[in-house]
């Protein structure tokens, strides 16, 4: 079954800065926009940044321990192919990105082995980019 694109709208307290971040850092193509929001093609999904005062979660992220790291909650992201993930990790490193969790492979040799990295956008939204060694193990237990 083919996946349907998701739609996700997130708050940003500085629309011009967030617009540059998503457009330039990730090279996302813009869709429609207004003075209060911008649509982006987020790897085939619709991500919309909406101007909104900073939320409590953006001001101070909560974390949960996963594989020895403090994973920010809430967060969102995308599952990429392994080579796409490696290219994005290299691009982000070359841009001097400050990571919340540096790119690494978690659960090595276990079901669900995955590459992952976490970062924050300039407005405090946490993002995770991951890739599975075997995408068929996306929901491995």
pLDDT per residue as tens digits for the range 35-73:
999 999 999 999 999 999 999 989 998 999 998 999 999
pLDDT for res 43: 96
pLDDT per residue as tens digits for the range 92-124:
999 999 999 999 999 999 999 999 999 999 999
pLDDT tier at 141, thresholds 50, 70, 90:
confident
Strand order through the sheet with 114-120: 76-79, 126-132, 114-120, 99-106
Tokens 């192919």 belong to residue: 81
Contact 38, 16 (CB under 8 A): no
Domains, in order of start, for the chain: 1-54 (3.10.180.10), 61-141 (3.10.180.10)
pLDDT tier at 3, thresholds 50, 70, 90:
confident
């Amino acid at each position: 079954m083919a996946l349907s694109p998701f739609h996700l709208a997130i708050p940003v307290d500085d629309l011009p800065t967030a617009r540059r971040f998503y457009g330039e850092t990730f090279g996302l193509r813009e869709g429609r926009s207004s003075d209060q929001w911008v649509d982006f093609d987020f790897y085939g999904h619709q991500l919309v940044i909406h101007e909104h005062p900073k939320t409590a979660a953006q001001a101070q992220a909560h974390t949960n321990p996963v594989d020895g790291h403090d994973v920010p909650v809430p967060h969102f992201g995308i599952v990429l192919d392994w080579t796409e993930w490696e290219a994005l990790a290299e691009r982000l490193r070359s841009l001097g990105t400050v990571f919340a969790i540096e790119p690494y492979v978690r659960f090595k040799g276990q079901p669900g082995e995955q590459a992952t990295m976490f970062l924050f956008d300039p407005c405090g939204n946490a993002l995770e980019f991951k890739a599975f060694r075997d995408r068929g193990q996306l929901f491995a237990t």
